[in-house]
Amino acid sequence: MVKVGDIAPDFEALDHNGETFKLSNLRGRYVVLYFYPKAMTSGCTREGIRFNELLEEFKKLGVEVVGASTDPVDVNRKFAEKYDFKFKLLSDTRGVVARVYGVLKEDSFTAERTTFIIDPEGRIRAILSNIRPAEKHADEALRIVKELVGTKT
């Protein structure tokens, strides 16, 4: 797994609209990249909803929120539409991105629920792992980003 202080591995993946997403295109901004195991499940739904609820606060800080799973584009599209997610959901159907970040569960071919906070220079500043869906780790990610950008609001 990548660790705090590493440069976040760049990657390309299709978002839930079928458009190509490239992490390096977000250089100059903070990025919250969160991996989730499976769209439409209760834990991943709660997690996505909470990120969506906090999205305006992230945006005010100049932060891009991006979710990623091994689900195909059409499943992520339905997931995003059903819950009106206003951020990108990436499809890593081959598990390449999850594997590079060290979060692919080979036995189930799903991503381990893990969040990476990446700074504007592309360096990983925090990793939230061993997350339970009931825990509002979106709130924790927001708290960490606020500390990193020097805001206490």
pTM, to two decimals: 0.95
39: its two tokens: 């769209």
Detail the DSSP E strand segments found in 40-148. Answer: 63-69, 88-91, 104-105, 110-111, 114-118, 124-128
> Which pLDDT value is given to residue 135?
66
CA 133 to centroid of chain Cα atoms: 14
For 58, the enclosing helix (H) or strand (E) is: helix 55-60
> Which pLDDT value is given to residue 133?
63
Which domains, from first to last, does the chain contain?
Answer: 12-149 (3.40.30.10)
CA distance 34 to 131: 11
pLDDT tens-place string over residues 86-140: 999 999 999 999 999 999 998 999 999 999 999 999 999 999 998 776 568 899 9
pLDDT tens-place string over residues 37-91: 999 999 999 999 999 999 999 999 999 999 999 999 999 999 999 999 999 999 9
Which residues 6+ apart lie within 8 Å of 106 measured at CB? none
Active centre residues (catalytic): 44
CA distance 45 to 39: 7
87 and 66 Cβ atoms separated by less than 8 Å:
yes
